[in-house]
Amino acid sequence: MFHKEGHKIILGSLVVLIAITLASHFFMQNELHKKILVSFLLLVFILILQFFRNPKRKPKSKDHNILAPVDGKVVVIEEVFEKEYFKDKRIQVSVFMSPINVHVTRYPVSGKVAYSKYHPGKYLVAWHPKSSEENERTTVVISTENFGEIMYRQIAGALAKRIVNYAKEGDEVIQGSDSGFIKFGSRVDVFLPLNAKISVNLNQKVKGGITVIAE
């Protein structure tokens, strides 16, 4: 199963693959060169398919838990001053997605979307300290019964060129369901209350909509 955000890219890539393969048979005489070209194009196409895969997951609703919003590796767990919305101290948990990870973003909690905003910006590498504030990004805040307000932020990286965010203010959302996609991108930050009990460690691999990151 592939994410809907990749359907056009996958179809376009398939058309290009077929067109170049057919053209190579008419305009390239060297059989070895033909095989190398077609093999390379096929490899690129397989990588595109892998990037846009969307494995179906059915997480059980966990009202007292916060789930990882994306697949990847935990690269930050620290207390920070969040200055866009809360304007106070929060615990930041950041998950970095490599090109081979699933890039679907999922709601970490159920509740009502209280804030959703897109910010244009730079394309610093995702692990850069200033990427959370200077890169292209979207910020979403969900109001919950058990945790109060929880924020997550999709952050573009050096290769990301488009962030897709489905969250709209006033929406009632369900934990673990699709909240967006980062095309060829890279990191999601979650901002939690200071009294949240963190359930993950640095460098731990997590699965979006499955792994509990805090209680």
* Calpha distance 107→76 (Å, rounded): 19
> Which residues are identified as catalytic?
186
Burial per residue of 161-191, b for 16 or more beta-carbon CB atoms within 10 angstroms, e otherwise:
eebbbbbeeebebebbebbbbbbbbbbbbbb
Instruction: For residue range 103-141, list pLDDT tens digits in order.
Output: 889 999 999 999 999 998 766 655 556 656 667 889 999
Does 186 score more than 90 pLDDT? no
21-25, 31-35, 106-110: which is most confident: 106-110
Percentage of residues in the chain having pLDDT higher than 90: 47
Alpha helices (H) along 118-168: 131-134
Query: Above 60 in pLDDT, residue 160?
Result: no
pLDDT at 129: 60
pLDDT at residue 61, as a whole number? 61
- What pLDDT, on the 0 to 100 scale, is given for residue 36? 82
User: For the whole model, what pTM was predicted?
Assistant: 0.79
pLDDT in tens, 191-203: 999 999 999 999 9
Is pLDDT at 71 greater than 80 in this prediction? yes
Structure tokens at 28: 């390239």
Give the helix/strand (H/E) hosting 43: helix 31-51
Residues 6+ apart with CB under 8 A from 42: 17
Q: Mean pLDDT across the stretch 29-56?
A: 78
Spatial separation of the C-alpha atoms in residues 137 and 158, rounded to whole Å: 12
pLDDT averaged over the chain?
85
Burial class (CB in 10 A: 0-12, 13-18, 19+), 23: exposed
Is the model's pLDDT at 76 over the cut of 60? yes
User: Is residue 53 a contact partner of residue 156, using CB atoms and an 8 Å limit?
Assistant: no
| Local confidence band at 84 (pLDDT 50, 70, 90 cut-offs) | very high
Instruction: Tell me what the mean pLDDT of segment 153-182 comes to.
Output: 86
Model confidence at 156, pLDDT cuts 50, 70, 90, reads: confident
Sign of the torsion formed by the C-alpha atoms of 132, 116, 215 and 57? negative
Measured in whole angstroms, how far is the alpha carbon of residue 164 from the centre of its chain? Answer: 9
**pLDDT over 80 (residue 80):** yes
Q: Is the pLDDT of residue 185 over 70?
A: no
In angstroms, the CA 22 to CA 10 distance is: 18
User: Cα separation of 100 and 97, whole Å?
Assistant: 8
- What's the mean pLDDT in 83-88? 95
Q: Is 154 helix (H, G, I), strand (E, B) or coil?
A: strand
